[in-house]
């Protein structure tokens, strides 16, 4: 069997992003579990705000096509997103919206979302840790017909969540991350 490939997508471009840091911690756990991990930055896939006229005139932008193909080349996807005003940031929503418009030849609509499981995580300095944004993201991905695994991680008080070695230090966070990583690997293997 070929190596299990996991794509990790941080939903923030900010330098010092809590979510990019959590994405790095999750990537390490996936690699420890034997998966081949690709961690991207959405700064390498810049996209205009979705506009139907733009799509009609110029088609789907190449960065959306490239990202969709990158997703297709992986067996599972983790999205690690900030929470903005109790929901999903425009960067993440806009990226999903564009990718959902990509349909390669002989593919059915949403095939890239149906073909592999998704995991979702959030990091925030608040006590709720981005829980509300995860509910919104789960709904969006479900609308794209994705399987979103039940285990998720909402990392509270993200600024104080790590030790000097950049590892999560609270047992509940470590357990939640480990459970999510194990479940995404398990479901990805079953959907391969």
Ligand X SMILES: Cc1cc2nc3c(=O)[nH]c(=O)nc-3n(C[C@H](O)[C@H](O)[C@H](O)COP(=O)(O)O)c2cc1C
Closer residue to ligand X in complex, CB, 117/130: 130
Given 42, 71, 83, 140, the residue binding ligand X (CB under 6 A):
83
Closer residue to ligand X in complex, CB, 84/113: 84
Helix, strand, coil percent content, the chain, rounded in steps of 5? 45, 15, 40
Which tokens hold the place of 179? Answer: 């459970």
Given 2, 43, 85, 108, the residue binding ligand X (CB under 6 A):
85
Q: Which residues pair with 80 in a beta bridge?
A: 10, 121
Where does this chain touch ligand X (CB under 6 A) — which range of 50-58, 69-77, 78-86, 134-142? 78-86
Given 45, 50, 84, 98, the residue binding ligand X (CB under 6 A):
84
Q: Which residues pair with 78 in a beta bridge?
A: 8, 119
Nearest partner of 176 among 126, 130, 144, judged by Cα: 130
How far apart CA 9 and CA 1 sit, in angstroms, is 25
Closer residue to ligand X in complex, CB, 125/186: 125
Q: Does 18 bind ligand X (CB under 6 A)?
A: yes
Q: Which residues pair with 123 in a beta bridge?
A: 155
Q: Does 41 bind ligand X (CB under 6 A)?
A: no
Given 6, 8, 12, 25, the residue binding ligand X (CB under 6 A):
12
Given 8, 17, 98, 118, the residue binding ligand X (CB under 6 A):
17
Q: Which residue has the tokens 């981005």?
A: 130
CB of 24 to ligand X, least distance (A): 12
How far apart CA 84 and CA 86 sit, in angstroms, is 5
Per-residue binder mask for ligand X (CB under 6 A), 117-156, x = binder? -------xxx---x--------------------------
101 with 55: CB under 8 angstroms?
yes
How far apart CA 38 and CA 3 sit, in angstroms, is 12
Q: Which residues bind ligand X (CB under 6 A)?
A: 12, 14, 17-19, 82-86, 124-126, 130
């Amino acid at each position: 069997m070929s190596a299990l490939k996991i794509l990790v997508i941080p939903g923030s471009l900010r330098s010092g992003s809590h979510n990019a840091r959590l994405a790095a911690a999750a990537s390490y756990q996936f690699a420890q579990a034997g998966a081949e991990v690709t961690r991207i930055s959405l700064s390498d896939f810049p996209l205009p705000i979705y506009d139907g006229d733009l799509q009609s005139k110029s088609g789907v932008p190449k960065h959306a096509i490239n990202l969709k193909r990158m997703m297709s080349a992986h067996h599972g996807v983790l999205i690690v997103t900030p929470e903005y005003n109790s929901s999903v940031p425009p960067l993440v929503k806009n990226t999903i919206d564009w990718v959902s418009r990509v349909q390669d030849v002989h593919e059915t609509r949403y095939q890239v979302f149906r073909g592999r499981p998704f995991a979702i995580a959030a990091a925030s300095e608040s006590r709720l840790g981005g829980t509300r944004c995860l509910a919104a993201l789960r709904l969006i991905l479900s609308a794209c017909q994705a399987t979103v695994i039940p285990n998720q991680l909402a990392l509270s008080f993200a600024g104080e969540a790590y030790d000097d070695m950049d590892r999560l230090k609270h047992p509940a966070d470590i357990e939640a991350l480990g459970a999510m990583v194990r479940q995404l690997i398990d479901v990805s293997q079953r959907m391969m």
